[in-house]
Amino acid sequence: MTDIKVGVLGLQGAVREHMNAIEANGATAVLVKNKEELNEVDGLIIPGGESTTMRRLIDKYDFMNPLKKFAESGKPMFGTCAGLILLAKSIEGYKEPHIGVMDVHVERNSFGRQVDSFEANLDIANVAEDFTAVFIRAPHIVSAGENVEVLAKHNGRIVAAREGQFLGCSFHPELTQDHRLTGYFISMVDESKKN
């Protein structure tokens, strides 16, 4: 696994925790703070944070086109919480998406404010039947396109999904010691390197 390099977009959010989760799975974690560093990685995690702030930073550091090109190259991308919002093709109440590569429609802060943060046990298809997910001002997937595989729901709402090389979840998998979902993403990266 050590020849697999997974980048973490280092603009905002729980960057260090994601890097720890990558390394716990035996892959190499790379902090991506400028667009040139995208060329050095086989897959990319876009962490949680605040999606509007992240978008401002993406624009400030001229990341948008390089991120879209990264998606076009076929390399896997994993968006957690705000990262899911950035990957989504459409966002409730917004005319334009951000990166807009995953065929899902998301609603921001759909589980309430920061004070409404909670943990829930999820059954995530192909990953775990007992995954403790941490929800903090989390979005959820309102609807998904026909090629999107729904991996997990919480109270009837879609909270994890995959479409080809794209993986998205509403929660923060990096905030627990359970690194199986990150491991699932790394296996996606491994698979895409072989093809």
Q: Give me the number of domains the chain comprises.
A: 1
For residue 161, give its domain range: 5-194
42-to-18, 75, 145, 168 alpha-carbon distances in Å: 15, 6, 26, 17
Please write the tens of the pLDDT for every residue from 113-125.
665 688 999 999 9
Please write the tens of the pLDDT for every residue from 72-99.
999 999 999 999 999 999 999 999 999 9
Just list the catalytic residues.
Answer: 81, 172, 174
Give pTM, 2 decimals.
0.95
- Looking at residue 194, its pLDDT comes to 86
The CATH code of the domain that includes 36 is 3.40.50.880
Cα angle for residues 115, 9, 89 (degrees, 5° grid): 75
